C-alpha cells in the first residue's frame, strides 16, 4: 500500500501506526480514527474466524468516491481508509478509517460517515466460520433461504 492511496484493500495486516502517521499535518487540530475488529459473536452465533471477499477494482473506486463526497460536504484536511481481504482471526483489524481536520467536530462527523458508507456501498462480502463447524455469508442468509424455500 503506497503512502498516497486514499482507499486501499490489503491482503496483509493493516499497519495502523503507519497510516496514522501518514495523515500528520500541521494544519490539523484533530485526528479521528476508527478500527473495526473481528469479534467472537454475531447474531448469537460463536464466530471462530472469518474471510473477506473483496472485488478490489470497484471497492477502491467506490471508497475514493465516498471520501470525495465527504470532503465536498465537510471541511476536513484529509482522509484515508483501508479494508482487509482474505482470512482474518478474532481481534484482527478488518477496516481502518482516519480523518484529520482543524477542529474535532468535522473529523468525528467525517469519520462516522465514511465507515457507515463503506459498510453499505463497497463490494465486500464476509463469510463467518462458526464454532459448530458451519459457515455463512453475512447478510446473505435471508436471500439464500428465499432461494431454497
Partner 1 sequence: MKTINVRYFALFRERAGRDSETVETTADDALALFRQLTDRHGTDDPRGHCKVAINDVMADWDSPVADGDDVLLFPPVAGG
What is the pairing mode between strands 45-54 and 41-42?
A: antiparallel
In angstroms, rounded to a whole number, what is the distance separating the alpha carbons of residues 128 and 52? 9
CB of 10 to partner 1, least distance (A): 13
Q: Give how far Cα 64 sits from Cα of 1, 28, 78, 92, 134, Å.
A: 15, 21, 12, 24, 35
Q: Give how far Cα 101 sits from Cα of 3, 9, 29, 33, 112, Å.
A: 19, 24, 6, 12, 14
28 versus 112: smaller Cβ distance to partner 1? 112
Residue 101 bridge partners (DSSP)? 30
Q: Which residues bind partner 1 (CB under 8 A)?
A: 36, 52-53, 55, 57-59, 61-62, 83, 94-95, 115, 118-127, 137-140, 143-144, 146-148
CB of 17 to partner 1, least distance (A): 21
CB of 70 to partner 1, least distance (A): 16
9 versus 78: smaller Cβ distance to partner 1? 9
109 versus 127: smaller Cβ distance to partner 1? 127
CB of 127 to partner 1, least distance (A): 7
Amino acid at each position: 500500500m503506497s503512502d498516497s492511496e486514499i482507499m486501499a484493500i490489503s491482503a496483509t495486516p493493516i499497519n495502523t501506526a503507519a497510516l496514522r502517521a501518514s495523515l500528520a499535518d500541521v494544519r490539523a487540530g484533530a485526528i479521528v480514527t476508527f478500527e473495526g475488529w473481528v469479534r467472537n459473536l454475531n447474531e448469537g452465533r460463536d464466530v471462530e474466524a472469518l474471510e473477506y471477499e473483496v472485488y478490489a477494482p470497484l471497492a477502491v473506486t467506490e471508497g475514493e468516491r465516498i471520501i470525495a463526497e465527504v470532503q465536498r460536504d465537510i471541511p476536513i484536511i484529509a482522509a484515508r481508509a483501508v479494508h482487509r481481504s482474505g482470512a482474518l482471526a478474532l481481534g484482527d483489524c478488518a477496516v481502518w478509517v482516519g480523518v484529520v481536520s482543524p477542529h474535532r467536530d468535522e473529523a468525528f462527523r467525517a469519520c462516522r460517515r465514511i465507515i457507515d458508507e463503506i459498510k453499505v456501498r463497497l463490494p465486500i462480502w464476509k463469510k463467518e466460520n462458526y464454532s459448530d463447524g458451519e459457515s455463512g455469508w453475512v447478510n446473505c442468509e435471508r436471500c439464500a433461504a428465499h432461494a431454497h424455500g
